[in-house]
Each structure stands twice: as C-alpha cells, then as structure tokens.
Structure 1
Amino acid sequence: MSFQRSLYEGIDPSVPISPDGDPNKKISLGDQFILLLARLMEGGKEDEDTCTELNTLTKLLHDDSSDETKSKEPHRPLWELVDTDSVETILSYLDMRQSPSVRGHATLTTSAYLKASGDKGVEQLSNFFYSRVAKGTYDDFILAFSVASCIFPIVPDVTATLFLSEGFVAGLGPLMKRKWKSKKVEQAALDMLNAACMNTACREAIQKYCTEWLEEIVNDVPESFVEVPSPDRQQVAEDGPIQQRIHSEKVRNLAAVVLAKLQAVPSDPTAGSEARIQPVTTSIEDLSDLLKNSLTIDSSQQSSIEGLAYASLQPKVKEKLAGDSTFIETLITALNNAPAKSPSTYGALSILVNLTSYMPALSEEQKHLTQLKAYANASRLAPKLDPLNDDEHVSKRCQVVFKAGIIPVLVTHSQHGSVASLAQVVTIVFALSKTAQIRGQIAQQGGVKLLLHAYSSFPSESFAAQRTAAHALARILISTNPSHVFGGSTPLPLTSAIRPLLLLLTDDLTVEHRDLLPVFESLLALTNLASTDDSARNPIIRLAFSQIEELLLSNNKMVMRATVELLCNLMLSPECVAKFADGSKQASHRMHILLALADSEDPATRRAAGGALASLTEWDTAVNAILERDRGVVILLALCQEESEELRHRGVVCVLNVLTAPGKVGEWGIKKVKDEKGTEALKECLKKSRSQEVLEITVEALKKLLQGTTPDATAATGS
C-alpha cells in the first residue's frame, strides 16, 4: 500500500507516540498522528493495545477540532491526514466480528472524525458504504452492515440516507433469503435494521419490504434438524454449515426485536402505500413470549432485553410479563449483573418503567382538550384508557416488582449510572411510592438515600427528573417516622430533605396545567419533618415562609388544610411565633388570616388552625394580637363549643392561655372573654366533654374567669 509505505519514511516506529505533544519529542503532531494511523493499519495486536491506539486517535481528533484544546504548534488539520485507506482502516474496527471493546472505541473514533471533517467525512463514509455493498461479497456485506449499525446513533440523518438509497432495503430481504444462508451476514443485517428503526422513514421502509423475511426468521423453525430438506442441510457458507430454515437463537431474537419495534412504534403509512406494506402477522404478545423465554434461559442477552423494552409498551404485554414471577426475578438479576451505563442496564430499566408507570391523571379541562384534539384529527372519539393501564392493574404490577427485591438493585445502579438511567431509576421508585403500604420498606431498603443522591446529581436542566425525585421523596416521608430515616446510625441529615420538598411548592413551568398533588404531598411530608424539632422547623420557616403564606389562601381545600397543618407544627418554634406576634402590621394581618382559618367550614382546617393558636397563645404578645381583633375571642370560644372533642380541646387551651396571660394583657383577656359570654361557652364545653384532660382545662379556665370577675379583682383597662 503506497500510503502505508510513505508513512514510515523518515520515522522510527520504535519511538513512542506522545499524544500530549511533549516538546522534548522530536516528532511533530502531524507525524504522531500519521504514525498512529500506520500502527492501526498493521493490525494483529491485542485488543487492549488496539483500544489504546483508537482512544489516542480519538483524543487527537477531538482536541484538534476545538480552538480551546487545539495545539499551538502550526500544523495541517489532523482530519485532512485521514485519507481513503485510513477511513477504511478505522471503519474496519466496527466489524461485528471485532470484540465489543474494540467496536466501542472505534465508534468513538469514527464520531470524532466525522465531527472534525464535516461534509468531507460524510462523503468518505458514503463512498465506503456504497462500494462495499456494490462488491457484494460475504466480508463486504458484514462490514457494511456493521458500520451502518454502529454509526446510526452518531449521524442518523446521514446513515438514513445511505439506508434508504434506491433498491437497498427492497433487495435486502430477497438477498438474505436467496443468496446468503450465513448466520453472520444475517446477524449483521438484522443489527443494521435494529439500529435503523430509530428513524421513522427507515422504519417505514423496513415494514414495507422486510416484514415477510423477519417473520420467516422468527416463525419458520422446524421442530427437529431432520425436518430440514437434505439439499439445504448440505449448503455451506463461509462461517460454517447452516441450514436455510434454521436460524441461530441470536438471529431469531434480533428479528423479534425489529418486529417488536415495528409494532410498538407504528408508522403512519403515506397515502397510497398501504397496499404495498407487508402486514405483520406475528403478534406482539408472541414476540414478547419468544424474547421472555430467551431471557429466562440466558439473562445476559441484550437483544432480548431491548426487544422487551419495546414490547412492554403494550398493556397486554405488561400484564403478561408482570404475571410471570420467574421472569421478573430474571429481569432483576439481569439488571443487577449488567454493567453501569450499558445498553442492558438501560433496557432493563425501560422494561421496569413500562411495567410500573401510572397513567397521568387528567383534570376535567385536560380531558375536554383531549376530546377537542381528537375531533380536530377527524377522530370520532378520543382514545380510551386501556383497562390494563388503570391504577388498579398498575398498582398490582408495582407490588410484584417491589416484592421481587428491586429497591436494593436500584440503589446500587443509582451510584454509578448515567443521568438517563438515573432518571429511569427515579421514575420506578416514584411509581412504587404511590403504594402507601410499602413506603416504609422502600425507606428501610435505601430509597430515601437513593432519591436524595439522585436529586443532587441531576444537572439543572434535568428539572423534571429533579421534581420526580422530590415527589417520590415526599410520598415516602409522609408515611415514615423521620427519626427512623434520619439521624442515629444513618449519616443522612434531616435537613437534606427540605430543599427537594420545597421545590414542589414552586410552579412547574414545564407543564401547561399546574398539578397540585405534588404541592399537597410535599406539605404533608414537611409537616412530618416539622414534628421533630426546631432544627427542621427553622430551615423551613427561613426558606419557605412566603410560600406557606401564599398557600394558606389557596383555592384548593386540601392544599389549604395541609398548609395549616404544617403551620401548626411550625408554631412550636419561636421563629414562627414571631411572624404572628412581633407587633408589626404584617404580623397582625397574618393573625387575622389564622383566626379566619380557625373559623373555616372545614373541620380539619379548624382543628389545625386551633392547634396553631394553642401554641401561639402561650406568648403574651400573641394573645395581645388576638385581643386586638374584633372577633378574635369569639372564634376561640366557638372552638370550645364544637362537637369534636379535639376542637374543644384546642379551644379551651387557647382560652386558658388568654385568661392567664401576664399583666394587663391577661386582665384585658378576662374582660373580653367575659363580655363575649365566655362563662356560658365554657360551661357548655364541660357538658359536652368526656376527656379528663379537656374537663380539667375547662374547669381551670372557668375558675380563672370567675376569679377575674370578683369585686376584689383588678379592673381591666382594656389597654
């Protein structure tokens, strides 16, 4: 090869390559690059050495294409040194017969070259593909198909153009059926089809021309070797004897994966093309059975996992997979054994996401909009929810997955996975957390730690994933004792959960309609945390009091109630008391709102507001603020006459605190309670109450009130 000979002229191959451009080396950057290409052309090295050289080549191309990392040494752009022979050398390492590690490094090198070379690289790639396909030999087909499958994710538009060249897809099925009976060629072709399914136009072409061939691979399998006709048994291809109608398990799985993608992500045929498209006769359920059985036999089969990731989008397949406990255990084992950031990990997580995800709840307005869109699309009816996707069925599937031991495996994968796989992990935990009965177990198995780690690991642009993690955390913390999750032997500080929960109180700007469920559940979780001590209460007050104030006036009854319940627990902190009792106009306004809530139509809201007032009235400045309101004492006495024992308890505590406030505030309190017929209200409270504690407090309040009305009592000034 003339190019290869020129590479060695004047260069000692024994001199080590210095990718960092060490100035002590006499070799220029361009010479280093050329020498590296020459060594790759030689071949015959160990995979580890090949990967090292490909990695170095990738780095040189990547650094040279960026102004920030480009060498200051004057030199010709490195990508221009990659001629046709060099391109063929690099692409040859994408051959499916190479080891996965070599193919992976070669893929990165190809990506770096195409990025640096632009249109010139695309031209080189196209020429390589067309020339190999035109030659039509066994090795050429394998290499061309292998290259196409590897570069599809890198340059999908470019590769789709190659794939859709006239006659290529149309002739693929007949070519495989008539000429090639080689499992290697077949596997390479199916790998290419599998990758091509990511493109809509390619997927339509595959469905149009290749469905019959794919179904033949999946279904036309004799029960025994002797059923294959003798002439077929004798045919030989370069990779060994193979029968026309006997396909390897891997090839069958790949064909099933492609068919599953065609059915799971159907394409809308263009006008007039319906009759030409080959119909799929193998059902998605049959395909999932084939892939499931294959995975059960060998849990490391990546193609089976990938196919099931698509097939499990269908409700019937979800239900069938979840009903097979052996399969679920096998899937979790496969996930546990899969390397971090691998396709197998992502595929297994995708299956679990499909099995456990609930359908989004729609408001009446959203349902109406869905119907309008259906009418606009000339549909008679809006699409109906499949019964197998309703909450009852999803809940059962979630419990099956949880009982199979998924949480510890997710905890492990959350530590080293990619952002995409971490988002899937969080989605699964979020779905499982909807079942209140298992929240405590999720926390015990490391679910809270997982979610806090995920929340802090997501980049700022992964806002939706952060909210999902925070929402799952809220659900778990609603149903668990904070002291069992934080503190003690657990290194997790309780305050680490506050910021994620507060995120849910803000508007989600990524959605058109605000969902108040996350707000409600966050408030419940914060209420639980605020039941501990001031180390939890004070950060909530400092970070979110303005949001709490706003939510006190929410139009949603449940949100308003939950906010008042949170405020009730926060009121145990002097910092919160000061917000209502520092004598400012703002504090007076807050007291007015709290008293109004204690007079709400909702008993639960009155109970929570009464609890907050019971804590607040322990401070004389707060009592003074209540007495300044015209109806302040009236509302407290109304609580004392409630039918609920809990509400009467809160009412009499408030009244007693008013009556026993020190100095002139207490005197003013006695007068106002008496003027508002407090004696009668307290006597009625005595008649209704059965609790010993309530009776004792009421008697004490009556005594104080009666003592304050004796002639010897100091006259209240009311000031």
Structure 2
Amino acid sequence: MAQEKQILELTKQLEASSKDDKATATILLKRAQVYESLDEISRATDDVQTALKRDPQVQAQASELLSRFSAHKLQQEPTHRELEEKDPRAASFEKHLVDLESSKDVAGIRRFVSSNDFVLVLTACGTPDAPPRIKSLSFMILTRLFNPQDDSKSYPMAFIIEQCAACFSHCIDQGKNESKLLAYRTLTAIFQTSMTVGSAILCQEGTIEEMMDVVEFETAPVQLAIAEVLTIASSDKSCRKQILKYATEWLAKTAGQSKTDPQLKAAAGTALSKLRAQSDLPADDDIGTSGVTEATPTLEETMRKMNLTNDTLIDSLKDIIRSKSSNGTLVLNAVEGLAYACLQPDVKESLGNDKEFLKCLSTLAISTANKDTVSSNPLLFGIGTILANLTMYRPVMDEHQKQMKKLRDLANAKQRQAAAGGGGKGGGGSAAKQEEKEDAREDDKAVDARIKNAIEQGAAVALVVLSKNSSVNIRAVAAQTYLNLVTPQATRGQLLQQGVVRGLLPLSHDANNGILASQALAKLAITTDPRIAFVGDTILDLVGPFLTLCKDSSQLRQFEGLMALTNLASVDDRVRLSIEHAQGMGVFENLQLSNNDMVQRAATEMVCNMTFCEPVFERYSDPSKSQNRIRLLMILSDHEDPATRRAASGALAILANSPGTCEMILKVDKCYERMMRWLSLEETAEVQHRGIEVMRLLIQHQGKPVVNEFVNENADEKLTEIVKKCQVQVVRSAAMEVLKLFVQNGVPLKA
C-alpha cells in the first residue's frame, strides 16, 4: 500500500515538473525503482527509457537499472529453451526425424503417417505460436517426408499425400473457425516444403471451387489464411489455372475495397500481383485437362469489373510500406506482392520514381536485419528482390534470343487483343507492332534514373545488411543489386563514400554469389584510383576475386577482371607479388590467346604490368623457360590493334634489359622485319618509343652483329625519319640515341 502511495506522489511530482527535463528524469528513475519493488518490470523499464530521453546525463544510473531489470526478468520468466524441453513433442519429433533420416522402411513410414504423431506434426506446422524448436522440427519432418533422398518406386508418396489431404478435409469438414484456420495454415506450410504435395491437395476436384463458394461467409482470419494459400499456390501451374477460374473475382473484390481489413487486403493484393506476374502462362495450353474454358474471364477483365486497376493495387501495397506498420504479416504480404509485380515496366517506374517509398524500403531492410531472426528472411528476400528488379538492365540478346522474343511478343499481342474483344487483322498487326517496340521504361536511361534514386534513398546501406545474412538467396539478390548499382560510372564515387566495399568484399569470397560481387568490385577498381577506393590491405583481398573473374567463361568478366587487376597492379608492388603467388601469370598467358581482341589486349597489358615484378621478370628472361612467351609477345607487338601492339612492345622493352630476353628476341622468326614495323611513321608514338628502346638494349647486349642486321633492314633511315618528322620530343631523343650507337659501330649516317 505504501508503495502505491509512493507511485501516486511521484506521478503528481511529474505533472508539476513536466517542463523541467532534469527534474523529470530524476523523478522517473525514482518511480522506476518503486515499480521494480512491485515486480512491474515493464513499467519500470518504460520510466527509465523515458528518463534517458529527457536527460541523457542519467545514462550511468539508467544503464545500471536496466541491467538489473533484465536480470530480474530472466529470473522470473522461463526461457524458450526451458519451455521447449518441457514440451513432450520435442523428444518425439526428434526421434521421428532420426528414424526418417536413417531408415528406408516403407512400412515404418506408412505407420508414422497413419499415426496421431503425424497429426501433431501437421498441427505444429499450422500453429503460428508453436515454440520455435517444435515448429522447426515439424518442418524438417515434412521436408524429409515430401522430398525422399531416393526415387524408389516403392516410396509411399501417394499414401502420404492421401493422408495429408484427409487431415485437411477433416479439419474443413468440422466447420469450426479454429479448425479451418489450422487447415489452411497447415496447407500453406505444406506448400512451403513441397509444391507438389500442396498442389495435389488443393487441386483435388472441387476443393478450390467449394472453398471460394463460402469464402465471403468466413471470418476475417480464415479469409486471410485462404488468401495466403492462394498466394503461395499461384506459383504452381495447375493451381494457378484453378485460381484464375474460381478465385480472382473474390481476390479483386477484396483487394479493391477500402473497408477491407488491411492485412487481408494486402494478402489479396499479393496474390493478384503474383498472378499478373506469371506472364509466361500459355493462353490455350491444356485447357481441356485443366477445366478452364475459353469462357473463363481473364484476370484483367475481372479486375476491371471490380473497378480495380493495377495502379490502385500497387499504390495500396506501397502505402503499407510507407505507413511503417508494425504488423509483420501485413508488411510481408505487401513486400511479396511488390516483389512479383515489379517485374512489369509500369510497376518498376512507379516504385523506382517514388523516393519516399524507396527510403521506407531501405529503412525497413535495416530495421528487419537488426532483429536477427530467421523468420525475417522472407521479408529481406522480398526487399532485395524489389531492389534487384528495379535496378536491372535489359539483357543483351543474341540473334536467336531476339527472334524468340519477337515470337513471344506476337503471341502476347494476339492474346491481349482477344481479351480486349478485338478480331480484325489490322488490330492484331497494330498490337504486334506495339509489342515489338521496346518499352522505354526498360531503357538504360530509365534504369540509370531508378538507380540514382535508389542510391540517394539508402539502397546501398540496406544492401550491406542483406549481404551479411546467412541465407544464400538473400546474399544472391544483394550481389546482383550491387552489380546493378555500380554499372553506371556516375554512381561509383557516391557508392564508395557510402561504404559499398564493406558489403561487397565478403560477398566476393562467397562460393555461391562471389562472381557477381567480384564483377561489381572490378567495375569500381577499373574507374577509381585503388589507393583511394581500397584502403590498407583491402587491395590485396581483391586479387583472388579478380582472378576468378579472369577464369570465368564470360569474356566480359574476363575483360573486367583483367582491367581491374591492371589498375591495382599499377600502383602497388605488393599486388603484383600477390598475383604471382596466386599463379595469375598462367591465367593471363592463356587469355593472350583469346579470340576476343579486347580480352587479348587486356591480358597483354596485364603481362606488361607484371614484368615489373621481379620473379616474373626473371622467369621471362630465362631462355630455358620463356622462348615461347617472348615469341608470343613479338607476334602481338605486330597486332592490328594499336593498344595490343603498345602493351606487347612495352613488355619487350622492359624485359630487354636482360641479356637473356635479347637472346630470345633474336631467335623469333622475322624478328628484324617485325621490329622495323615498330619504326613506321604511321605507327603510334608509344610503339615507336618502345621499339627504339628494344633496339637500344639489343645493341647494348649483342653489339655490332645486331647493328649490321638493323642496317640491312634500313633501320638507320627509319630512325633518321623519326628524328626529322616525329612530333614527340622523347621519341626523337631516343631515336638520336640509337643513331649514335650506330655511328659508334661504324655505320655512316646519310644526310
């Protein structure tokens, strides 16, 4: 009683001192301690947190109290683990899982599926508040049952499906709301573990039809459970046909009504978005066997009938994200719906140009990731998928792919014309032409704009948290989105400032998604000073990922990997040594033989760069090891591409400082004839300069015999022309230096 009086007194003091932050904080801390003595820990915690907001200087005392409250709460409440250990299902489920993993006893599987224990497993899957361990075990059991490791014909899959269907029907037939909820939630769980089993249950004759006949008379929770079943089932072709026939009218009506429960409205919108995204659904395929007739209204017609447009559908889902709702299921449904819908150009434009939505989406990713729960993974995957789709560039197609797209566009045009009630040839031709025309909302310029908006609204920061997730799929969408974001050169500086390397580097070493992250890092390394972009030893961590790019089958990735390594190696000898230790030279030498001129050039530039590395220089200068390497450089120095000639002649100019290299150069067939082409007045100044340097070193190491051979090829005349006509002083000076060596070796120069 005395404590309650204290509470009242302190509350009055709070009202009197509400404008004084310091006094208010002190009173709140006193009241928190009284609440603690009454075991009202939640109220005590609220008071301490409010005190901290009013006066941050009470941090020390507040931290001590909060720590004490947490310890007190832990002593009073049993842990999840303790509760689960007391649950008799845990031991039973664990035993069944072990039996399923180790046994191939068909009779035993039949006995288990016929038992009450199997009903308990299904019940646990369909109960939202089941303890995490129990739910996890039940899902593992279903996964193992529905996905046998062996494809033995004796495996009782048909019997398993029959038992699951019987349980579903039994719950529905009871007519109670709790039973129906359990049935539909369990069916959703079955779909999550096996689309085949889920489809077999839902596609039983009359099931969807009967479900939709009574759906409007069901309670809101049951309707929500039905909408979630329809959403996940839409991924299956057989289910999708049944849903399009029987369920779209209710879905469109539910999604379009303003008075509908927000959670149910979002679930219906998600199902519709997913159905609309199935653009590959054949118009007349298997109509006879599916039960869908030509008289079945299209989804667009049904939505139009219910006054529901795609824009209003998308806007309603966007509003949920912008509202920052704390309802996890509501937000998840909205994100999933938008993830499917944003495959369409109009939705990409709507989402990608809505800066408020993009900001809320990025914030949602960060706050969800901070919860660090496995259940948040579907939400994070949905967010990542939206960001990836919004920033994805149109793929470059080869001729075969272009022809296939034309045929597909023509078929789609005819289908849409038929749906709109058209019929004449003229209308069909016009629609086909419209389809053949590329949508401007998918053009690079439009994608560039969406990427700019996404980066400005925090997408790169959101990707950092996605890249740290344990889910392979989430890391995959993060890697793809990173690659999309760095594709426009204009965004790279801003992304580096936002710490994009922090998220990309761990991904680049990922066994599943490393290639995409490595490609994104390569784009950054190609156009940015590595000393600024990659601090400290980070630059060394990039060698492995970039070499992996060089080994990829894609010539674009090979080229980008080579260019990135060239840029890194040009500024740090540690990088060159790291590349050498990673056996990189063998990779570059193979790529010098590529049939792609750009890859061949980049590989030769990389070899040139690596000649500054002492172990490489020594190996290339050893006649017993590198005659073929020098021959290849001589051949490439005569390449039709000026940049390749420059790189190859540059490598030779460096290596020719070694007598061994000079010896190998002279063994190359037509070596003097090749070198004379370096001195052509039509040649670039860079190649002329490198060629003259090779000549100087050859004379220095080999003496008069080399001079005589050069004179036989009229090298003295070519050098004299360069001195007279070349506009680059350093090249003229080098030519004069070699001419002096000619004179020293008894060659008279012509005026």
Q: Above 0.5 in TM-score?
A: yes
For the pair 1:353 / 2:388, whether they are aligned, the reply is: yes
Q: Is the 8 A contact 1:79 1:113 kept in 2?
A: no
Q: Which residue number in structure 1 is paired with residue 344 of structure 2? A: 314
Q: Which residue number in structure 2 is paired with residue 289 of structure 1? A: 315
Q: Which residue number in structure 2 is paired with residue 64 of structure 1? A: 99
Deviation at 1:50, TM superposition (A): 5.4
Q: Is the 8 A contact 1:659 1:667 kept in 2?
A: yes
Amino acid at match of 1:556: N
Distance 2:506 2:659 in 1: 44
Q: Which residue number in structure 2 is paired with residue 646 of structure 1? A: 686
Deviations 1:158-198 (A, max 9, x none): 22222122222112233122x33x21121121122122222
- 1:160 aligns to what SS in structure 2? helix
- 2:468 aligns to what SS in structure 1? helix
Deviations 1:290-345 (A, max 9, x none): 10112111255111101000010111100111001111111111111224551100
Q: Which residue number in structure 1 is paired with residue 73 of structure 2? A: none
2:658 to 607, 619, 625: 619
Q: Is the 8 A contact 2:688 2:731 kept in 1?
A: yes
For the pair 1:271 / 2:279, whether they are aligned, the reply is: no
Distance 1:51 1:283 in 2: 48
Deviation at 1:623, TM superposition (A): 1.7
Q: Is the 8 A contact 1:449 1:492 kept in 2?
A: no
Q: Which residue number in structure 2 is paired with residue 7 of structure 1? A: none
1:249 to 237, 262, 265: 262
- 2:267 aligns to what SS in structure 1? helix
1:165 to 178, 193, 204: 204
Q: Which residue number in structure 2 is paired with residue 225 of structure 1? A: none
Q: Is the 8 A contact 2:84 2:131 kept in 1?
A: no
Distance 1:539 1:46 in 2: 50
Greater mean deviation of Cα atoms: 164-173 or 383-392? 383-392
Deviation at 1:569, TM superposition (A): 0.7
Q: Is the 8 A contact 2:637 2:646 kept in 1?
A: yes
Q: Which residue number in structure 1 is paired with residue 520 of structure 2? A: 472
Q: TM-score, normalised to structure 1's length?
A: 0.78
Deviation at 1:85, TM superposition (A): 4.3
Q: Is the 8 A contact 1:87 1:124 kept in 2?
A: no
Percent identity reads 30
Distance 2:139 2:166 in 1: 20
For the pair 1:492 / 2:527, whether they are aligned, the reply is: no
Q: Which residue number in structure 2 is paired with residue 570 of structure 1? A: 610
Greater mean deviation of Cα atoms: 358-367 or 51-60? 51-60
Q: Which residue number in structure 2 is paired with residue 31 of structure 1? A: none
Deviations 1:229-268 (A, max 9, x none): xxxxxxxxxxxxxxxxx32101101110011111111433
1:684 to 693, 704, 721: 721
Distance 1:107 1:62 in 2: 9
For the pair 1:262 / 2:310, whether they are aligned, the reply is: no
Deviation at 1:602, TM superposition (A): 1.8
Distance 1:535 1:295 in 2: 48
Deviations 1:409-456 (A, max 9, x none): 222222233111111111111112211233344445443453342233
Pairwise mapping of residues 353-392 of structure 1 onto structure 2 (< 5 A)?
353-364=388-399, 366-367=401-402, 385-392=438-445
Structure 1 pair 316/131, CA: closer, same or farther in 2 (3 Å)? same
Distance 1:544 1:137 in 2: 69
- 2:623 aligns to what SS in structure 1? coil
Q: Which residue number in structure 2 is paired with residue 599 of structure 1? A: 638
1:582 to 584, 606, 622: 622
Distance 2:135 2:492 in 1: 40
Q: Is the 8 A contact 2:530 2:539 kept in 1?
A: no
Q: Which residue number in structure 1 is paired with residue 420 of structure 2? A: none
Distance 2:134 2:180 in 1: 17
Q: Which residue number in structure 1 is paired with residue 465 of structure 2? A: 412
Greater mean deviation of Cα atoms: 185-194 or 694-703? 694-703
Q: Is the 8 A contact 2:230 2:271 kept in 1?
A: yes
- 1:658 aligns to what SS in structure 2? helix
Amino acid at match of 1:98: D
5+ residue gaps, structure 2, are 1-77, 149-154, 415-428
2:228 to 191, 202, 208: 191
- 1:359 aligns to what SS in structure 2? coil
Structure 1 pair 597/114, CA: closer, same or farther in 2 (3 Å)? closer
- 1:567 aligns to what SS in structure 2? helix
- 1:608 aligns to what SS in structure 2? helix
Q: Is the 8 A contact 1:94 1:102 kept in 2?
A: no
Structure 1 pair 107/501, CA: closer, same or farther in 2 (3 Å)? same
Structure 1 pair 710/303, CA: closer, same or farther in 2 (3 Å)? closer
Deviation at 1:278, TM superposition (A): 5.4
Distance 1:625 1:108 in 2: 68
2:449 to 396, 399, 414: 396
Structure 1 pair 110/383, CA: closer, same or farther in 2 (3 Å)? farther
Q: Which residue number in structure 2 is paired with residue 146 of structure 1? A: 185
- 2:593 aligns to what SS in structure 1? coil
Q: Which residue number in structure 2 is paired with residue 335 of structure 1? A: 365
Structure 1 pair 589/421, CA: closer, same or farther in 2 (3 Å)? same
For the pair 1:453 / 2:453, whether they are aligned, the reply is: no
Q: Is the 8 A contact 1:114 1:122 kept in 2?
A: no
Deviations 1:125-161 (A, max 9, x none): 3222111111222222222111111221113222222
Distance 1:69 1:215 in 2: 47
Q: Which structure's residues are more often helix, by fraction?
A: 2
- 2:693 aligns to what SS in structure 1? helix
Deviation at 1:99, TM superposition (A): 6.5
Structure 1 pair 81/163, CA: closer, same or farther in 2 (3 Å)? closer
Q: Is the 8 A contact 1:315 1:388 kept in 2?
A: yes
Deviations 1:644-684 (A, max 9, x none): 333332233222222333xxx13333333333223222222
Amino acid at match of 1:558: M
- 2:716 aligns to what SS in structure 1? helix
Deviations 1:678-713 (A, max 9, x none): 3222222222344443343333222222122179xx
Distance 2:669 2:194 in 1: 73
Structure 1 pair 687/314, CA: closer, same or farther in 2 (3 Å)? same
Distance 1:369 1:249 in 2: 42
For the pair 1:344 / 2:379, whether they are aligned, the reply is: yes
Structure 1 pair 101/523, CA: closer, same or farther in 2 (3 Å)? same
Structure 1 pair 137/69, CA: closer, same or farther in 2 (3 Å)? closer
For the pair 1:433 / 2:486, whether they are aligned, the reply is: yes
For the pair 1:522 / 2:561, whether they are aligned, the reply is: yes
Q: How many residues align?
A: 618
2:551 to 496, 506, 518: 506
- 2:509 aligns to what SS in structure 1? helix
5+ residue gaps, structure 1, are 1-44, 71-75, 222-245, 509-514, 712-719
Distance 1:97 1:599 in 2: 72
Structure 1 pair 503/106, CA: closer, same or farther in 2 (3 Å)? closer
Structure 1 pair 625/102, CA: closer, same or farther in 2 (3 Å)? closer
For the pair 1:559 / 2:599, whether they are aligned, the reply is: yes
Deviation at 1:208, TM superposition (A): 0.7
Amino acid at match of 1:212: E
- 2:612 aligns to what SS in structure 1? coil
Distance 1:563 1:305 in 2: 44
Q: TM-score, normalised to structure 2's length?
A: 0.75
Amino acid at match of 2:645: R
Distance 1:316 1:529 in 2: 41
Q: Is the 8 A contact 1:176 1:186 kept in 2?
A: yes
Distance 1:579 1:373 in 2: 56
Deviations 1:36-83 (A, max 9, x none): xxxxxxxxx99765555455544332223233999xxxxx97995787
